[in-house]
Structure 1
Amino acid sequence: MAPGRNGRIVRRSAVIAGAIALSLAMEVSGFLATPAAERGEVSYATMHAAVPIVFAVCAGVAWRIGPTRLPSRLMILFVVLWIPQSFYRVIEDVGWLWPIVRGIDLGWAVVAGILVLVYPRGWLDDRFGRWVAGIALSASVVNLLGVLLLAGPGDVPCECAPNPYQVADAPLLFTIGDYTYRFIGVALAFAIAVRLLVRWMRGSVPARAVAFLMPVALLAWVTTLAAQAIVYAMSTTSETVLQTVSLLAIASVPVSYVAGVAHAGNMRSRVADLMRITREGADRGLWAESLARTLRDDSVRVFWWDEERGRYEDAQGVPISPADSDPRGTHSMLPVASPQGVPIALIRHDRVLTENMRLLEGVSSALRLSVDNGRLRSEVERTLDQVRQSRQRIVEAGIEARRRIERDLHDGAQQQLVLLGMRLRIAANRATELGDADLAHELDRAIEILNQGLRELRELAHGIHPSLLSSGGLALAVPELAGRCPIPVEVDVQAEGRLPEIIETTAYFAIAEALANVAKHSEATRAWIRAHVVDGELVLSVRDNGRGGASLEAGTGMLGIGDRVDAVGGRIDLVSPAGAGTTITVRIPLP
């Protein structure tokens, strides 16, 4: 965690702790300053003190998860303005202070109202909210001035010192202004409640999902203000059930706010499911279905950009209609483009989701990543296919080059050497007839050397490309290959007819390399070769009873087998426990 972030957390914690300390100090000092005969129940005072603590705790949470800092600051301001009536007993002798406190002691109601108005975006985003907040703040300023200029010591529950700001003794005027201020607050609360509740009831499923807790908070807030106004108008300070309910109601406002914001955050976290579902690429039908389920908006439609036609169309290829491209009323369009500005898609969604821009930004990012994943996957698969084809062409070219070299050796150098041997034999016979024994001996010696070279040349030609493989396939070439192994080899080859040349050649040289490893390294006394066609694959296995311990990474021979097999799309498996022999299994798919 960065030092700057640590500092911010410390400062926020200090602000919250300071606000709580101030609120508790007002509550406790007021309770203790009130004569014992006039004190209310301890339980009620405790509940009254708990309300600002709830706001403070929710402020800490909102500071962490909220879209802006305004809601958390409003909650902290509420804690400061939650002034108990008993606190006037503490400041009753401070003539300049108690009128100010009396003028702002309903500020908590204004703050709570604005907190409801800024949900869920974290600021006042419409004209209605700004008008209501403006009226409430203006009325609060007028009320503060009225208290400062008209309030007397008898207008507060204490034996207060004279008001130094008072300019006229007009208790009736003061009372009218006081009642008007309180009922303006109740009227504004009802206006907000009615408007937002109607919107919630008429709203779509996404609208209700985003604001599902706000009706509870609104009801709690209006109940609180109405209860406070009624109690005040009745001129009673008794701890009634109505007052207790009002405390519970007002405490539910920040809880509802934080729960609603957390719910919106959970909706954003569900965008991660889109990446899990579409990690292989943005399948159009699946993406639209998954997006509607994530946003809980069945009206979601996704229109994809068709670069060839230069238009947006849905998953079925139907072009976007004018009504969808420029929606009115309850829907909005979210354009999604690549970082280079190339259009990707248009998402039609419920307009209420624009209040959660983080959610829509997450959706846009998920779609871009899905499209990029699909594009990259296609490019990788295309590249891998090109590599496979290239490797196969290289193998085929190598096979053809081997065959050509073998043919050239057989038809060229080998025939010339055979002809040379015949001419040397004629010359040796002639030297014997002429009685030149030394010349005849030298010619016989040259013929032996020539025959040895011819045998080596034939073996070289056979190793380059066995002619028996070309003429008879694996069924003839593998037994002949096994017969040249220095240890006994049991052969079971049942390839069904001739296989493609590249497959036969790959299989032959894989077996040849495996037998060479058996002869050189295994210390085996027997070996087995099996080749069968199973479920469209040529399955080869070379097994020995040697010392085991072989590895695919050990030596160029095994690597050579792996490269050959991989070039034709096959796979190789090696089982070689120490002391228990080695089994190499090769599977090559047949075209």
Structure 2
Amino acid sequence: MAPGRRGRIARRSVLIGAVIAASLLMEISGFLASAPGAHQEVSYATVHAMVPIVFAACAGVAWAIGPTDVPARLMVAFPLLWIPQTFYVVIEDLGWLWPLFRGVDLGWAVLTGILVLVYPRGGLADRTDRWIAGIAIVASVVNFGAVLLLATPSAVPCDCVPNVYQVADLPTVFGLVDVGYRIVGVGLALVIAGRLLVRWVRGSVPARTAAFLMPAALFAWATTLAVQALTYAAAVNTDIVLTTISLFAIASVPVCFVAGIAHVRNMRSRVADLMRITREGADRGLWAESLARTLRDDSVRVYWWDEERGRYADAAGVPIDSAETDPRSGHSILPVSSPTGNPIALIRHDRVLTDNMRLLDGVSSALRLSVDNGRLRSEIERTLEQVRQSRQRIVEAGVEARRRIERDLHDGAQQQLVSVGMRLRVASNQARELGDTALAEEIEETIGVLNQALKELRELAHGIHPSLLSSGGLSLAVPELAGRCTVPIEVDVQAEGRLPELVESTAYFAVAESLANVAKHSHATRGWVRAHVEGDELVLVVRDNGLGGASLDAGSGMLGIADRVDAVGGSLELESPPGAGTTITVRMPLGGALGDA
């Protein structure tokens, strides 16, 4: 955690603890200072004291996950304005203080109303919300001024000293302002609750998801508040049950607030699932379906930019209709473009989702990354295919070059050496007939040297490209190759007919390199070579009973086999546990381009 963030968390924790302490101090001191007969019931006092604690606790959550700091600040200010009626007994002798408390003791209701108005985006959404908040603030200022200038000790339930700020004794005017303020507050609360409730009932699934439980909590509080205002105006004692219900309703407002924004935050986290679903690329049909499921908005439509036609169209190729972009349709359009500014798509979504711009930003990023992933994946696959074809052409060219060298050696150097040997044989015979034994023996020695050179040249030509492979295929070349190994090898070649030339040469040299390793490194007493066709693959298995412990990284020979096999689209598996011999399994495809090689 960054030092700056730790500091902010520490400061906010201290602030929350301080306002909780201040609220509890007012609650407890007022309860203790009240006369025994005037004590409120302990259960009610406890519930009353818990309301500001709930607000303060929710403020900490709102600071952590809220869209802005405004909701958290409103919640943290609430406990300071949650003034219990019993607290006036504590400050009744302070004529300069109790009027100030009396003037703001309903400020918590204003904060609660504004808190609901800024849900869930963290700010006032439209002109109506701003008008409601403005009326509430103006009414609070008027009420505060009336209390400060007109209130008498009878305005509070205590034996308070006279109000030092009072300028006139107008109880009727003060009473009208006092009751009117409460009626205005109740009216605004009902308007807010009604707006949310109607919006929730008429709204789409995303709108209801965003509203969550807030309308129900606010409506319950506003209803009980209205009853309390009427009983206050009629000077009738409020029923304790109704008052307790009101406390629970008030406490539910911040809980619903943080639950709602947590739910919205959870919606943003589902964008990660959207990326997981579409990580292979932006399949257009799948993308629109997954996006609708992520946003829980069945009205979502995705229109992709068609560069050829210069227009947006859906996955089926149907161009976007002008009615889709009409702001009166209840939907909004989210344009998505590449980092260079090139258009990618338009997302039509429920207008309520514009309150959650972080979610929409995440969706935009997910779509952008998905498109980039798809493009990069296509480019990588195309590049890999080009590399594979290039490697295949290199192998084919190598095979052809070896065949040409072997043919040149056979038809050129070998034939010339054989001809020289025949001439030397004739010269040797003539020297013997003439009685020159020394010359004949010297020529015979030269013939021996020539025969050894011819043998080495033939072996070299065979290693470059065995003529037996070209004429008879694997069924003839592999047994001949195994016969030259110093370790007894059992051969089972079941490749029917001739295979593609490139596959045959690759298999032959894989066997040659494997048997060379058997002879040099395995310390084996037996070996096995098996080649057969399974479906459209040639399966080649070379096994020995040696020491094992072989590795693809142990030498260039095994790497050479792997490279050859990979160049023709095949695969190589090596099993070589210590003390249990070595098994090399090669699989090479026979069809497609390889079959045409």
TM-score range, shorter chain: over 0.9
* CA drift at 1:327: 4.8
Deviations 1:134-191 (A, max 9, x none): 0000011011111111111122111111112111111111101111111011111111
Give the distance between the partners of 1:576 and 1:477, measured in 2 at CA. Answer: 26
Q: Secondary structure at the match of 2:402?
A: helix
How far apart, CA to CA, are the structure 1 residues paired with 2:46 and 2:214? 26
Compute the displacement of 1:224 (Å).
3.9
Q: CA deviation at 1:247?
A: 0.8
Work out whether 1:404 is the aligned partner of 2:404.
Answer: yes
Whether 1:254 aligns to 2:269 is no
* 8 Å Cα contact 1:414-1:457 kept in structure 2: yes
Mapped contact 2:20–2:79 kept (Cα < 8 A): yes
Distance 1:493 1:238 in 2: 101
Partner of 2:333: 333
- Please name the residue that 1:447 is paired with: 447
Q: Which residue of 2 aligns with 1:16?
A: 16
Alpha-carbon distance in 2 for matches of 1:326, 1:442: 108
> Which residue in the other structure is 1:520 paired with?
520
Q: Does 1:361 align with 2:361?
A: yes
Give yes or no for the alignment of 1:204 onto 2:204: yes
Match of 1:49 in 2: 49
2:311 is aligned with 1:311:
yes
Give me the whole-angstrom Cα distance separating, in 2, the residues matched to 1:348 and 1:327.
Answer: 11
Matched residue SS, 2:64: helix
The verdict on how the C-alpha distance between 1:576 and 1:399 changes in structure 2, with shifts beyond 3 A counting, is same
Is this contact kept in 2: 1:216–1:256, CA < 8 A? Answer: no
Q: Are the counterparts in 1 of residues 325 and 332 from structure 2 also a CA contact under 8 Å?
A: no
Report the Cα distance in structure 1 between the residues aligned to 2:488 and 2:20, rounded to whole angstroms.
Answer: 92
What corresponds to 1:121 in structure 2? Answer: 121
**Sequence identity percentage:** 74
Asked if 1:105 corresponds to 2:110, the answer is: no
Deviation, 1:521, is 1.4
Map of 1:466-505 to 2, 5 A cutoff? 466-505=466-505
SS at match of 1:55: helix
Show the counterpart of 2:64.
Answer: 64
Deviations 1:398-418 (A, max 9, x none): 001100110111111111111
| Larger CA deviation: 280-289 vs 370-379 | 370-379
What is the TM-score when the length of structure 2 is the normalising length?
0.97
CA contact 1:220–1:252 (8 Å) conserved in 2: no
Q: Distance in 1 between matches of 2:179 and 2:456?
A: 120
Distance 1:227-1:302 versus aligned 2 partners, 3 A rule: same
Q: Residue in 1 aligned with 2:323? A: 323
CA deviations on 1:324-367 (whole Å, 9 max, x unpaired) are 24453310111111111121111000011101111111111111
Q: Give the aligned residue type for 1:368.
A: R
Structure 1 residue 292 corresponds to structure 2 residue 292? yes
Encode CA deviations 1:513-542: one digit per residue, 9 max, x unaligned: 111111111222222111000021100111
Amino acid at match of 1:97: L
d(CA) in 1 for partners of 2:167, 2:566: 100
Partner residue, 1:510? 510
Contact 1:109 1:225 in 2 (8 A): no
Q: For residues 288 and 513 of structure 1, what CA distance do their matches in structure 2 show?
A: 54
Q: Which amino acid aligns with 1:583?
A: T
In structure 1, the residue matched to 2:560 is 560
- 1:238: how far off? 5.8
**Partner Cα separation in structure 1 for residue 375 and residue 424 of structure 2:** 71
Moved more, 138-147 or 519-528: 519-528
Q: Which moved more, 1:44-53 or 1:418-427?
A: 418-427
Measure, in 2, the Cα distance between the counterparts of 1:20 and 1:32.
Answer: 18
Secondary structure of residue in 1 paired with 2:121: coil
Quote how far apart the aligned CAs of 1:437 are.
1.7
Unaligned runs of 5+ in 1: none
Task: Give the 5 Å matches for 1:71-150.
Answer: 71-150=71-150
User: Would the aligned equivalents of 1:31 and 1:86 in 2 still touch at CA under 8 Å?
Assistant: yes
Aligned equivalent of 1:346:
346
Equivalent residues in 2 for 1:451-462 (5 A)?
Answer: 451-462=451-462
Partner of 1:578: 578
Answer whether contact 1:223 1:249 (CA < 8 A) is retained. Answer: no
Q: CA offsets per residue over residues 289-322 of structure 1, 9 Å max, x none? A: 0110111111111111122222211111222222
Cα deviation digits, residues 565-587 of structure 1 (max 9, x gap): 11111111122222222221111
User: Which AA in structure 2 matches 1:51?
Assistant: V
Structure 1 equivalent of residue 190 of structure 2: 190
Structure 2 partner of 1:274 = 274
| Greater mean deviation of Cα atoms: 231-240 or 217-226 | 231-240
Residue aligned with 1:91, SS = coil
Deviation digits for residues 270-302 of structure 1 (CA, Å, limit 9, x no counterpart): 111101111111111111101101111111111
Cα pair 2:212 2:256 within 8 Å, conserved: no
- Measured against aligned partners, the alpha-carbon deviations of 1:452-495 in whole angstroms (never above 9, x if no partner) come to 10111011001100011111111111111111112222111111
Report the secondary structure of 1:312's partner residue. Answer: strand
Residue 223 of structure 1, CA deviation: 2.5
CA distance change for structure 1 residues 81 and 373 in 2, over 3 Å: closer, same or farther? same
Task: Answer yes or no: is the 8 Å Cα contact 2:190–2:219 preserved in 1.
Answer: no
User: Matched residues in 2 for 1:238 and 1:36: separation?
Assistant: 20
Contact residue 224 and residue 250 of structure 1 kept, 8 A: no
Deviations 1:108-129 (A, max 9, x none): 1111000000000001121011
CA distance in 2 between partners of 1:327 and 1:562 (Å):
62
- Deviation for aligned residue 1:227: 3.5
The answer as to whether partners of 1:88 and 1:157 remain within 8 angstroms in 2 is yes
C-alpha distance in 1, partners of 2:551/2:265?
A: 52
| Residue of structure 1 equivalent to 2:173 | 173
SS of the aligned residue for 1:364 comes to: helix
For the residues of structure 2 that align with 1:196 and 1:525, how far apart are their CA atoms?
A: 87
CA distance in 2, matches of 1:388, 1:458: 34
SS at match of 1:316: coil
Greater mean deviation of Cα atoms: 320-329 or 109-118: 320-329
Q: Secondary structure at the match of 1:163?
A: coil
The answer on whether the counterparts of 1:485 and 1:515 sit within 8 Å (CA) in structure 2 is yes
CA contact (8 A) 1:44 1:239 kept: no
Aligned equivalents of 1:325, 1:505: Cα separation in 2: 64
CA contact (8 A) 2:197 2:216 kept: no
Shifted more, 272-281 versus 455-464: the winner is 272-281
Distance in 1 between residues matched to 2:427 and 2:528, nearest whole Å: 49
User: Within 1, Cα distance between the matches of 2:519 and 2:434?
Assistant: 50
Partner of 1:392: 392
SS at the partner of 1:319? Answer: coil
Q: How many angstroms apart in 2 are the aligned matches of 1:548 and 1:146?
A: 98
Q: What SS is found at the alignment partner of 1:281?
A: coil
Q: 1:135 to 1:516 in 2, by over 3 A?
A: same
Is 1:436 the counterpart of 2:441? The answer is no
The Cα shift of 1:200 comes to 1.3
Greater Cα offset, 279-288 or 193-202 = 193-202
Corresponding letter in the other structure for 2:87? F
Task: Name the residue aligned to 1:233.
Answer: 233
Determine the structure 2 residue equivalent to 1:534.
534
Deviation string 1:18-64 (CA, Å, 9 cap, x unpaired) is: 10111111111111111112111111111111110111111111111
Hey, what does 2:595 align to over in structure 1? none
1:40–1:239 Cα contact (<8 Å) kept: no
2:539 counterpart SS class:
strand
Aligned to 2:222: 222
Contact 1:546-1:581 within 8 A present in 2 as well: yes
Letter in 2 for 1:217: A
2:140 is the counterpart of 1:152: no
* Deviation of the 1:99 alpha carbon: 1.0
